[in-house]
Amino acid sequence: MPVLGQHGGTPIQLVLRRLIEESERLFKGRATANVSIRPAVNEYKDLLRKGREAVMSPEVWENNEKSLAEAEGAKIKLEDEILAFTRELEWIARCEDALPTAGRLREEMRKLENLPPMPDVSSDFVERARAARNMASETKAEVDRLSAQIVKLEEQLAGCQISPALLAEADALDRLHQDLGVYRSRKKDLTDLETELAGLETTLRTGMQNLELSGSIPELEKLRLNTADRLACEETADSLQNAQKEHEENIKKTGDLKTQIETLEMQFAEPAGNRSDQTPGHLVHSGGSYRGQ
């Protein structure tokens, strides 16, 4: 037997009944949220309609892109025109700022035209003119300084007491002043000569001691030789110098001969096989030359 539910009917019938009631509540209920799905269905249909309306055809898309490109080109053109207008406005502003200067320039040009004609000058005329002005200023300052110095010297001269006797000897004083330089030079030469004379006296006294001469230097005048004796002494001195040179040369040759003799003695002391057969002719020649002298 079928199992009856609480309200009668089988369990399946109860489930069906509940599903039917739920469906009637959702689809036939009031059009309010959380009660019926009609608002959601209506919203879904509305979104489908808006989606169909929002879909754009390729032709419309291309037209929109073309319109956008044209708008961007027009924008760039307008920006360029704005930039050009801005530059023109800036140039106009600069011109307005320069109007006072232009007016002054026009006035100065008018004054320049009224001036008489001037000669042509070189390109460095301005620099040379400035240099000349500076030099003139420096020269004027130097003239002022020298003028003040002259005035000061004139005042000092006016205050000096001049003796008539001194004025009478003016020519002599002038000659003495001119000879002052010569006097100083000769005085210096005299000092140098005195110094040289002192050195010569020392040398002369040393020579007197070597010659065993006594007396003072003025007494040596008595011992002065005459011309013939002085010439004979000079010739004797020259002969003595030549003899000394020959003596030194003979001493040198004697030393060379001794060296050669020692060499020969060493060669003769060696064995016969090691002795050189060559005759030292240069030794004989040297010895002969020495003997010939």
Q: Is the pLDDT of residue 278 over 70?
A: no
Residue 215, sorted as left (phi over 0), alpha (psi -120 to 50) or beta, turns out to be left
| For range 177-189, the mean pLDDT | 84
Question: Measured between alpha carbons, how far is 273 from 266 in angstroms, rounded to an integer?
Answer: 14
Task: Yes or no: say if 260 and 280 are a contact pair by the CB < 8 Å rule.
Answer: yes
Tokens of 47: 């979104």
Tell how many helices (H) and how many strands (E) occur in the chain. 8, 0
HSE toward the beta carbon, residue 125, CA cutoff 13 A: 5
Q: Is the pLDDT of residue 136 over 90?
A: yes
* Mean pLDDT across the chain: 78
- Using alpha carbons, select from 260, 258, 254 the residue that is nearest to residue 293: 254
Look up tokens 């006294």; give the residue.
205
pLDDT in tens, 225-258: 677 777 888 888 888 888 888 888 988 888 888 8
Q: What is the pLDDT of residue 290?
A: 42
Q: What is the pLDDT of residue 88?
A: 92
Q: What is the pLDDT of residue 24?
A: 72
Q: What is the pLDDT of residue 9?
A: 66
Question: Measured between alpha carbons, how far is 197 from 206 in angstroms, rounded to an integer?
Answer: 14
Residue 117, sorted as left (phi over 0), alpha (psi -120 to 50) or beta, turns out to be beta
Range in 5-14, 19-28, 150-159 with the lowest mean pLDDT: 5-14
Q: Is the pLDDT of residue 127 over 80?
A: yes
Q: What is the pLDDT of residue 174?
A: 81
Q: Is the pLDDT of residue 168 over 80?
A: no
- Using alpha carbons, select from 219, 217, 222 the residue that is nearest to residue 200: 217
Question: Which one-letter DSSP state was computed for residue 107?
Answer: H
- Which H helix or E strand runs over 117? none
Q: What is the pLDDT of residue 154?
A: 86
**Chain centre to alpha carbon of residue 133:** 33
Q: What is the pLDDT of residue 279?
A: 46
- Which H helix or E strand runs over 281? helix 281-292
Q: What is the pLDDT of residue 274?
A: 53
| For range 152-156, the mean pLDDT | 86
pLDDT in tens, 29-76: 555 555 567 777 788 888 888 887 777 777 878 888 899 999 999 999
- pTM value is 0.24
| For range 77-106, the mean pLDDT | 90
Tokens of 73: 């080109």
Q: How confident is the model at residue 8 (pLDDT cuts 50, 70, 90)?
A: low
Question: Which one-letter DSSP state was computed for residue 219?
Answer: G
**Per-position DSSP letters for 24-68, written without gaps between them:** HHHHHS-SSTTT-SHHHHHHHHHHHHHHHHH---HHHHHHHHHHH
| For range 279-289, the mean pLDDT | 45
- Using alpha carbons, select from 241, 236, 211, 234 the residue that is nearest to residue 223: 211
Where are the chain's structural domains? 1-55, 57-113, 179-224, 232-271+281-293
